[in-house]
């Protein structure tokens, strides 16, 4: 348990002091955010705010995790390293997108095919690797069975699993990306989900099938639950530190560098902790905002009419007259309720299995 505290504190401290350093560096180089003209008018004042802030919490998380392992004298686990690989790999794709937007002054950044190719390469590599590296009990970081609070049903096979994992990775990465439209919104929501996965990892460790004292009905067949909690705590702390500078009025934006990385980390934690479908509830705000875009696009193509004044959903409420801070706080409350329901269902699943 000491590892979780150390990684969380290190992540918070490194991000808190590292983000202002990054702000000065990006501002000096003129790496400011491009603001679309068709967005809410209040956002035009944000033009030029340093972006690519995801670099700060990516580095803070990686250093926090590595430092924790050095301090406690333990080796990193395969599950922990795989989640960090997915987190960093998706962040690299986002960084290339942000860099092209800024340097080449091209509002859409990477071409759609190039961006998708980068996400697919990272996602496929993660999915294939996650089905390997069995421990002494034969447990691998991921399972070819679907999962809610635990694995259930028949194996879907490695090929379909890779497709399923890619769907999750792309859905969560783009969900966080769509949510990252208001100061602090995506960062604060991510903190809550990472907090939930810290709790889940600790609980799974205490009720692991690898422990002879707790093995039996309801135990968790997860390869490295405690280390997943360490990773989640490092991510939570790093995002908390970043939120200090990202909250309204934001001194820096995470950019695609941060949003794609966070989405990758969320998907990786869900897959490795065998809570894949539960993620749709734990990260309910990301799902809700993504659905608003799907509904808007689908309605316009089918009927020529828009359901919302603007999508994603947060901008609809801005155009209705809500202040940015009001939208963010209320959406945080929604995410908090989603997290509470998700944790409640996770515990209910354990009780039912007993």
Binding-site residue numbers are 177, 256
Task: Tell me how far apart the alpha carbons of residues 145 and 221 are, in angstroms, rounded to a whole number.
Answer: 12
Asked if 307 and 299 count as a contact pair (C-beta separation under 8 A), the reply is yes
Q: How far is CA 212 from its chain centroid?
A: 33
Beta bridge partners of residue 220, listed in sequence order: 208
How far lies 270's CA from each of 55, 76, 234, 280, 342, in Å? Answer: 23, 19, 16, 10, 12
Q: Which residues line the annotated binding site for Mg(2+)?
A: 177, 256
Q: How far is CA 346 from CA 92, 161, 199, 202, in A?
A: 32, 22, 10, 13
């Amino acid at each position: 348990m000491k590892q979780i505290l150390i990684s969380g504190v290190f992540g918070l401290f490194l991000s808190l002091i590292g983000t202002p350093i990054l702000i000065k560096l990006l501002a000096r180089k003129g790496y400011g955010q491009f603001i679309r003209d068709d967005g809410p008018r209040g956002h035009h004042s944000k033009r030029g705010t340093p972006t690519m802030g995801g670099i700060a919490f990516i580095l803070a998380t990686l250093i926090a995790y590595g430092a924790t392992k050095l301090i406690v004298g333990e080796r990193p686990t395969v599950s922990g390293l795989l989640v960090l690989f997915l987190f960093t790999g998706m962040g690299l794709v986002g960084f290339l997108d942000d860099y092209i937007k800024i340097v080449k002054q091209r509002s859409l950044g990477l071409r759609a095919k190039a961006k998708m190719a980068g996400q697919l390469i990272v996602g496929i590599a993660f999915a294939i690797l996650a089905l390997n590296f069995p421990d002494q009990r034969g447990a691998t970081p991921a399972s070819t069975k679907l999962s809610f609070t635990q694995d259930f049903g028949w194996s879907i096979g490695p090929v379909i699993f890779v497709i399923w994992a890619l769907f999750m990775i792309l859905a969560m990465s783009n969900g966080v990306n769509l949510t990252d439209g208001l100061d602090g919104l995506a960062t604060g929501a991510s903190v809550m989900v990472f907090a939930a996965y810290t709790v889940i990892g600790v609980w799974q460790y205490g009720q692991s099938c690898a422990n002879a004292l707790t093995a039996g009905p309801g135990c968790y067949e997860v390869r490295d639950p405690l280390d997943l909690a360490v990773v989640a705590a490092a991510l939570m702390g790093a995002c908390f530190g970043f939120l200090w500078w990202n909250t309204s009025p934001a001194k820096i934006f995470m950019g695609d560098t941060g949003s794609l990385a966070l989405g990758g980390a969320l998907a990786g934690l869900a897959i490795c902790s065998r809570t894949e479908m539960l993620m749709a509830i734990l990260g309910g705000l990301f799902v809700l905002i993504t659905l608003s875009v799907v509904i808007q696009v689908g309605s316009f193509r089918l009927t020529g009419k828009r359901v919302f004044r603007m999508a994603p959903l947060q901008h609809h409420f801005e155009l209705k007259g809500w202040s940015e801070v009001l939208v963010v706080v209320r959406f945080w409350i929604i995410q908090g309720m989603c997290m509470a329901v998700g944790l409640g269902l996770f515990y209910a699943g354990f009780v039912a299995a007993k």
